Structure 1
């Protein structure tokens, strides 16, 4: 079992870690420019696109769970049709995003409190990056399908190549050409389309025979569509709560001023780096739990859950130790602005606690997605947002200021892990 988990997890970890590496490079590039508002603009721009694109994360997660179960049943036709439905949904929604971009921008800047300089540069970033929507959503669908087919290698190749291109372009545009946030946005746009092109080439090369099982009349089959949208509806609501919490965090960081916004955005990058590492084992759980659920091997389901948790929590604890030992040194990799470093150190304790606390919720997410038991995920996220995150912030902020944001984030992760642990015996482990 450990070998199977590692065969899936290691490529996922490599591909996942390239994502925050890209964010870290972007943060470091603009963090070393003269003004803090460039870093604030990247943070707010990233928040806006997280809100837009993470909302469609169901195209990756739902596709993985459904495909893995079809793979476990050895149903080739259904596997291909799941991909076709996911790509159709991706195409429709990406077109809507592009067409509604002006409304999305106005709403985003109405919601977010930011200085005039931060807003100005965020708009420049937004106007370029919005056109990544078709490539981004299609990549969600294709990579989700690869993972469901127990193929973690292709998403790794696509993601690493995409982010390597992105990093190279960002460094060239910002460092060599003297661009600012516009250079980061153009790098992202070009890299996304290079990535989706590579994904399609890999799909057509490796799965050419599988794609022959496509049956056009089944694309809009009512029963299959009902299951597809039922699973993805719950994941969508769950993801909206996640996006809301992170977006709320960034928006409230901006209300504390540009220095706090810059400091919090760097610390959030550190949370993301660890989350993507742990998610390698969460993705392995998605693939394996879905496969074993599809082939009705409950004993292996329980075994996979156990070992994925051991690996995931191990990474979380290790990261907490590294952050505790190398706090200031890590911060200096991101910025040389002493006020930003000082502000980050004031709340760094929460970043030390974050990886260990978060590891439980990340692994449970992978388990429930693989089993396509999505209602508990939805309920858990609503409880964590309304019952833990928001009360912690609003009660704490008058007394402890920025600490209240980080307390809210830690309790949010803790709430997710606890509630999913309560749901697991009935829905996953089948203990009543």
Structure 2
């Protein structure tokens, strides 16, 4: 069991680590083009797409759960039907985003509150990169499908190839051909479309022999579509709550002043780093829990949950110890501003509590996705989000930034505890 967990978790961790590289590469290239306005423009541009695409993570998660269950039953017809439903949905959403690009750009930029010049540059980036929406969302669906088919290596190689193409294409268009920020957007879009083409080639190579035309006959029957949309709808609502909490965290930090905002942003990097590792084990949980749930093998399902939690707990202990001993040193990598470091030092112990408070939520998300119990995730997320806001508003007047972090830690812990109580009954 441990070998199966690691065989899926390690490639997923590598894939996760490559995710922020798209934005980092764009930022690094623009940093060599000019001054702060360009950097602000690309920062806003990438933030727009992070905010936009984060909401459609259900395309990966829902696909992974249904596919892994079909794999467990050895029902490859249903596995391919799941992929076709997901790709149809991703294409429809992407075309809608392209059709609504103007109001989306205006609305999201209004939330960013950037300078006129930065917003103009961000708009240039947006109106080019938005044409890669079908590829980006299609890759979400394909990644979930590969994971559900117990194949984590293919998404890893796709992610690595996409980043390689992004580096070369963005450099070529932005620097060598002098297209500036528009060239960076074009390079990123080309990388996404190339990644989709490569993913389809992998699909044909490894699974083409399993596919039969008659598999698609019952793709759009009402009962299957209702279950597909119900699960994905629950995941969508859960993700909306997640986005609201994290957006509010940044907004509340900014109202406390630039120094608090900078300190909190730095400490959230520790949360992000931990999340990339823990999500690798969550994806492993999706694939294996769905597989054994679909096969009706309750014994192996329990072993999967136990094994996932054992590895998650071990990694959590390591990260907690590392943050406790070297947290300030890690944060110093991101900035050498003495004032920011001094403020961060007052609150860094909250970051030490993040791994212990959040690891259960990450792992249980994966297991619940695998067995398609997204309604549990949705309900627990809604309750935890309400508690987050209640704690913050009750205590912010007396505790200030400590109230924000206390609310965040309770929110993370509440998700884990709530899901654990439910999954024990399931």
TM-score normalized with structure 1 length? 0.87
Supply the distance in 1 between the matched residues of 2:30 and 2:259 (Cα, whole angstroms).
14
Counterpart residue number, 1:135: 135
In structure 2, how many angstroms separate the alpha carbons of the residues matched to 1:9 and 1:105?
A: 36
Give the C-alpha shift of residue 69 in structure 1. Answer: 0.8
Residue of structure 2 in register with 1:420 after alignment: 419
- TM superposition shift of 1:424: 0.9
CA displacement 1:114-148 (0-9 Å, x = unmatched): 56676555445434433332111100100111111
Q: Is the contact made by 1:31 and 1:335 (CA closer than 8 Å) also made in structure 2?
A: no
Deviations 1:205-238 (A, max 9, x none): 1111123245443221111111111111111111
In structure 2, C-alpha distance between the alignment counterparts of 1:221 and 1:228, rounded to whole Å: 11
Deviation per CA, 1:313-345, whole angstroms, max 9, x where unpaired? 222221232233333433343344444444444
Shift of 1:4: 1.0
Match of 2:226 in 1: 226
Change (3 A) 1:291 1:355: same
Once the 2 structures are TM-superposed, how far is the Cα of residue 293 of structure 1 from its aligned partner? 0.7
Provide Cα deviations, 1:57-93, integer angstroms capped at 9, x if missing partner.
1111111110111111111211111100100000000
Matching residue of 1:394? 393
Contact 1:87 1:138 in 2 (8 A): yes
Helix, strand or coil: the match of 1:219?
coil
Compared with structure 1, are the counterparts of its residues 310 and 31 closer, same or farther at alpha carbon in structure 2 (3 Å cutoff)? farther
Question: SS at the partner of 1:159?
Answer: helix
How many Å separate the matches in 2 of 1:274 and 1:255? 26
Contact 1:66 1:148 in 2 (8 A): yes
Are the counterparts in 1 of residues 71 and 291 from structure 2 also a CA contact under 8 Å? yes
Find the aligned partners of 2:43 and 2:408 in 1 and give their Cα distance: 17
Question: 1:13·1:276 contact (CA, 8 Å) conserved in 2?
Answer: yes
Aligned CA distance change for structure 1 residues 305 and 290 (closer, same or farther; 3 Å): same
The equivalent residue for 1:407 is: 406
Q: Would you say the 8 A contact 2:23–2:46 is kept in 1?
A: no
The 3 A distance-change label for structure 1 pair 334 and 26 is farther
In structure 2, the partner of 1:49 is 49
Residue 153 of structure 2 is matched in structure 1 by 153
Structure 2 residue 363 is the aligned partner of structure 1 residue 331? no
Which range is displaced more, 201-210 or 362-371?
201-210
- Superposed displacement of residue 161, structure 1: 2.1
Q: CA deviation at 1:42?
A: 5.7
1:422 & 1:273 partners in 2: Cα distance?
Answer: 27
Which residue number in structure 1 is paired with residue 271 of structure 2? 271
The worse-fitting range, judged by mean Cα deviation, of 76-85 and 259-268 is: 259-268
CA drift at 1:194: 2.4
What SS does the aligned partner of 1:365 have?
Answer: helix
Stretches of structure 2 that go unaligned for 5 or more consecutive residues are none
Kindly provide the CA deviation profile for residues 292-323 of structure 1, in whole angstroms up to 9, marking residues without a partner as x. 01110101111100110111122222123223
CA distance in 2, matches of 1:178, 1:331: 35
Q: Provide the alpha-carbon RMSD of the alignment.
A: 3.1
Native 8 Å contact 1:65 1:370 kept in 2? yes
Alpha carbons 1:47, 1:250 under 8 Å: kept: no
Q: Is the 8 A contact 1:124 1:181 kept in 2?
A: yes
What residue in structure 2 maps to residue 376 of structure 1?
376
SS of the residue 2:56 aligns to: coil
SS at match of 1:93: helix
Aligned CA distance change for structure 1 residues 169 and 275 (closer, same or farther; 3 Å) = farther
Query: What is the aligned residue count?
Result: 426
Partner Cα distance (1:330, 1:243) in 2:
26
Whether the aligned pair in 1 keeps the contact of 2:80 and 2:216 (CA below 8 Å) is no
TM-score, normalisation: structure 2 = 0.88
Range with greater deviation from structure 2 (26-35 or 153-162): 26-35
- The answer on whether the counterparts of 2:138 and 2:196 sit within 8 Å (CA) in structure 1 is yes
